[in-house]
């Protein structure tokens, strides 16, 4: 059958990758559009960034937030692990370390959605049987050939039975999140909407409670039995925003994730340093550290 002339003459059509491959429920939150292998443990991933986003584009639609880059890199590693290394879709990923630095001048929103390329190299892949159990990968994000970001990521992946043992019977249906306290004013943490504020005051200028709103459509794109890493990073971002000069904004993150942050216990965010270029952020729950993150600003 001959294709209609308008389709035959059109440029190649673009769609997102299957949302399940990047652990997203919403197609709108699926940022990747394709991938190909370029060498041994080397891959090229394509993405598209919307000009407007409910969280990761500035309120005046002029700039992409660096955490959109983080989410793109996270999705890239998840996609390749499933599609190229054969990890089953029912496996869970446990993030251990995420280090990323962005180039602010490359994050402006243009007249069309940005279409970055992510060059991914997997290193130190550890196997359990025939499937990877853990890995580290580097990612170089390019936009029209110019560097946008460089990242280094380490993670583990575990099957359903192991994950259930790790979680001790916790499931999204069995765990009730703590009540969400009133948030700080949106403007002081660099957000436009009160619903996107993730910090609540505690009476100390360097310590806040993390607001875990399981109804948030970006952080909780699907039901979870723990606080997601992207919400913890947003907490670090907002803490750094509070602790640095208003003319500076977070552009780099070096995070270590020590254990799961549970939904049914308060998470506390503390910031040290600031008024310079870097802010050290610590997330705790009970007597234990959940994560720590060095936030760089520019």
Residue range 80-121, pLDDT digits in tens: 999 999 999 999 999 999 999 999 999 999 999 999 999 999
119, 73 Cβ separation under 8 angstroms = no
pLDDT of residue 85: 96
Tell me what the mean pLDDT of segment 12-40 comes to: 94
Based on the fold, state whether residues 157 and 175 are members of the same structural domain. Answer: no
- The span from the CA of 195 to the CA of 78, in Å, is 28
| Whether residue 286 sits in one domain with residue 145 | no
Q: Which domain holds residue 158?
A: 5-165
pLDDT band at 2 (very low <50, low <70, confident <90, very high): very low
What mean pLDDT is predicted for residues 261-289?
92
Q: Are residues 265 and 218 in the same domain?
A: yes
Mean per-residue pLDDT, 147-168: 94
pLDDT at 9: 53
Do 175 and 196 lie in a common domain? yes
Task: Examine the domain organization and report whether 174 and 208 are in the same domain.
Answer: yes
Residue that finishes a domain, picked among 165, 197, 215: 165
pLDDT average, residue stretch 23-51? 97
Indicate the residue among 118, 139, 165 that finishes a domain. Answer: 165
Two tokens, residue 29:
């939150």
Mean pLDDT value across residues 279-290? 96
Band (pLDDT 50/70/90 cuts) for residue 246 is confident
Percentage of the residues of the chain whose pLDDT score is greater than 90: 86
Number of structural domains found in the chain? 2
- Are residues 156 and 96 both part of a single domain? yes
* pLDDT of 10 strictly over 70: no
Q: How many percent of the chain have pLDDT more than 70?
A: 95
Per-residue confidence at 169, pLDDT binned at 50, 70, 90?
confident
- pLDDT band at 129; cut points 50, 70, 90: confident
Residue 1 pLDDT: 47
Same domain, 130 and 195: no
User: How high is the pLDDT of residue 13?
Assistant: 72
Q: How far apart are CA 296 and CA 100, in angstroms?
A: 10
- 47-75 mean pLDDT: 96
Mean pLDDT of 258-284: 92
Mean pLDDT over the full length of the chain: 93
């Amino acid at each position: 059958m001959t294709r209609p002339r308008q389709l035959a003459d059109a440029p190649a059509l673009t769609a997102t990758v299957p949302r399940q491959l990047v652990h997203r429920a919403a197609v709108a939150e699926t940022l990747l559009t394709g991938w190909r292998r370029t060498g041994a443990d080397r891959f090229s991933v394509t993405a598209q960034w919307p000009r407007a986003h409910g969280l990761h584009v500035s309120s005046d639609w002029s700039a992409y937030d660096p955490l959109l880059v983080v989410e793109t890199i996270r999705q890239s590693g998840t996609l390749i692990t499933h599609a190229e290394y054969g990890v089953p879709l029912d496996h869970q990923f446990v993030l251990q370390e995420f280090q990323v630095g962005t180039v602010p001048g490359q994050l402006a929103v243009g007249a069309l959605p940005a279409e970055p390329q992510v060059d991914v190299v997997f290193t130190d892949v550890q196997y359990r049987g025939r499937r990877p159990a853990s890995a580290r990968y580097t990612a170089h994000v390019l936009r029209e050939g110019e560097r946008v970001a460089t990242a280094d990521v380490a993670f583990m992946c575990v099957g359903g039975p192991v994950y259930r043992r790790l979680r001790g019977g916790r499931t999204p249906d069995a765990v009730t999140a703590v009540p969400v306290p009133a948030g700080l004013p949106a403007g002081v943490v660099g957000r436009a909407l009160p619903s996107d504020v993730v910090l609540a005051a505690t009476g100390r200028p360097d310590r806040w409670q993390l607001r875990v709103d399981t109804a948030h459509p970006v952080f909780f794109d699907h039901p979870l039995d723990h606080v997601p890493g992207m919400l913890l990073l947003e907490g670090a971002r907002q803490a750094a925003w509070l602790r640095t000069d208003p003319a500076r904004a977070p552009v780099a993150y070096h995070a270590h994730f020590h254990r799961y942050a549970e939904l049914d216990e308060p998470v506390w965010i503390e910031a040290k340093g600031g008024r310079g270029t870097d802010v050290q952020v610590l997330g705790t729950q009970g007597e234990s550290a959940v994560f720590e993150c060095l936030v760089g600003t520019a």
